[in-house]
Amino acid sequence: MHGTWVIARRELASYSAAPVAYVTVTVFLGVVGYAFFGQVFSAGETSLRDFFALCPRLFLLLAPALTMRLLAEERRGKTLEVLLALPITEWEVVLGKHLAALVVLAVALLPTLAYPLALSQLGELDWGPVTAGYLGLLLLAATYLALGLLASSWTSSQTLALVGALALSLPLYVVGELAELLPPSQRELPRFLDLGRHFDNLARGIVDSRDLVYYLTLTFGCLFLATRSLEQRERG
């Protein structure tokens, strides 16, 4: 796994030198901060309900922005071949890049820990749903980033990678709502595929192994497919 950490450090250094990570973190904190303080001071609600409801929508947009260049730019700049010539496997390249992007979103979440701490000073706060909700956000972020990385492995265009990531993620975000249009006997599979439904369970404090398996399976499945894409292009 040494190669994974090498790639992750390389990508984190690249993020620190480019505006995309700073813009992503700033936009995220600005939007969720506005929603949180608006809920507390305007509606008088001392809960993280709006925060947990908003984050999945933001991740849907921010994750493609973080991943669109990760492999597409390597192809466009002809640096992927050089990278794979090192004693690093395709899996380590993909996993390292995914880890770096996940660190950026995790860093964006860190300041929001002040929200539950502030609410705990205003009244009694149930930390079970808060802890499970943050776990759900990390799993959801990992899944969105894996989908974006898969899209980035298919093209040398960052724009196409961005569009591809949205094309993969958006159906999984809305499939649960579309399931309500189907006959009751046909709703179970679309509901299971719904990214948001699994997160909603965690945000309520329900840590179900089925939700964890869903996110981990989808994440590592996308990373595996991205690795296969690199291997096939290298042979080609």
Measured in degrees and rounded to the nearest 5, phi and psi for residue 154 equal: -95, -10
pTM over 0.85: yes
Tell me, what's the pLDDT at 118? 84
Tell me, what's the pLDDT at 187? 72
Tell me, what's the pLDDT at 45? 61
pLDDT in tens, the chain (236 residues): 778 888 899 899 988 888 888 888 898 999 888 887 776 666 556 678 888 888 999 999 999 999 998 998 887 877 777 777 778 888 999 999 999 999 999 999 999 999 888 888 877 778 888 999 999 999 999 999 999 999 999 988 999 999 999 999 999 888 877 767 677 777 777 778 888 888 988 988 888 899 999 999 999 999 999 999 988 865 55
- CA 108, 219, 139, 43 torsion: positive or negative? positive
Domain boundaries, the chain: 2-235
